[in-house]
Amino acid sequence: MSRSVLALTDIRPAYTAMLAKRYDLHRLDLMDDKAGFLAKAGAKITAVVTSARFGLPVDLMDQLPNLEVVTSFGVGYDLIDLDVCRARGIRVSITPDILTDDVADTAIMLMHATLRQLVVGDDWARSGKWSSVGTMGLTRSVRGKKLGVVGLGRIGQAIASRAVPSGLEIGYFGRSAKPVDYRFFDDLVALADWADILVVACPGGAATQGIINAEVLGALGADGYVINIARGSVIDEPALIHALQTKVIAGAGLDVFYNEPHMDRAFAELENVVLYPHHASGTVETRDAMAQLVVDNLNAWDDSGTLITPIV
């Protein structure tokens, strides 16, 4: 008999179809009577397929007493309580590395778009201001700037390695110094004080909640920029909006927000931001590779009780 798997979302239609072909797949997101299904069939479920966006709430885990494994689409695991998984002997996999390039490219894209005011420039050309008002105002160059990376992991390092050839100097903050030539700061305010641009690339969750706060933004200063491709929760969002409105900092390029997809509308009123709808890994190539890795992890578990890219 095939394994009963509960999917909280579609990973990609062709890959969800692969799961449905091999497993007894149940799509919680498509069920009208979720509570009824869980009461009747929760004990049959031994695997969950989810994503960084949906995670796995503990109250749902409580209704799956025979859960063995969670395979998640994405690299963020702030919505999966890993301590609870460890305590219950539930294994968890994510999809690291294969999205690193696209996410790092997005950080670099947002950095250039923010300093060079791409969105303002696009509007300047489209709206006819170019001919009616004249030349657009000058922007800022990235060359020669100091880039402070918050979290020099897989994505942070990929951002740094792209930024160096563009003429940026790299510093970073994390829990420990890495064997790299970049300058290490054990204090986030000191990094912000040093940097012209802060790029946030650490995990979300309780340990990093609001660490980019008013003090950090103040230290970054009126010529400083924030780029966030990590999680909205890492930035104190009201403090960021206030800093952007009052020009405490010069601008921000943001892929992630505190309350997604219901982004604070104050951002939409600001000219000094470039916004992207949590889509840093949103390419066909990367999303296919992520979906394939979710399938491969589940199949590896089903075949041999191992995971290819475990986090727990």
Confirm whether 260 is a catalytic residue.
yes
The answer to whether 251 touches 227, Cβ cutoff 8 Å, is no
Q: What gap in Å lies between CA 59 and CA 134, rounded to an integer?
A: 59
202 with 234: CB under 8 angstroms? yes
Q: In the numeric block, which tokens belong to residue 35?
A: 């509570």
Q: Does 208 bind ligand NAP (CB under 6 A)?
A: yes
Residue 265 buriedness (CB in 10 A; 0-12 / 13-18 / 19+): exposed
Q: Does 206 bind ligand NAP (CB under 6 A)?
A: no
Of the pair 19, 152, the CB lying nearest ligand NAP is at 152
Q: What share of the chain is helix, strand, coil (3-state, %, to 5)?
A: 40, 20, 40
In whole angstroms, how far apart are CA 282 and each of 109, 159, 184, 202, 289? Answer: 14, 17, 31, 19, 11
229 contacts ligand NAP (rule: CB under 6 A): yes
Closest by CA to 50, choosing from 30, 89, 80, is 80
Cβ of residue 274: shortest distance to ligand NAP, in angstroms? Answer: 14
CB of 154 to ligand NAP, least distance (A): 4
Active-site residue among 3, 86, 169, 260? 260
Chosen residue from 256, 290, 295, 307 binding ligand NAP by CB under 6 A: 256
Q: Measured from the CB of residue 207, what is the shortest distance to ligand NAP in angstroms?
A: 4
d(CA 297, CA 31): 25
Interface with ligand NAP in residues 113-152 (CB under 6 A): 151-152
Query: Binding to ligand NAP by residue 290, rule CB under 6 A?
Result: no
Size of the site for ligand NAP (CB under 6 A): 28
Q: Is 231 known to be catalytic?
A: yes
Q: Write out the binding residues for ligand NAP, residues 11-50 only, by CB under 6 A.
A: none
Binding region for ligand NAP (CB under 6 A): 75-76, 96, 99, 103, 151-156, 174-176, 201-204, 207-208, 229-231, 255-256, 278, 280-281
* Residues annotated as part of the active site: 231, 260, 278
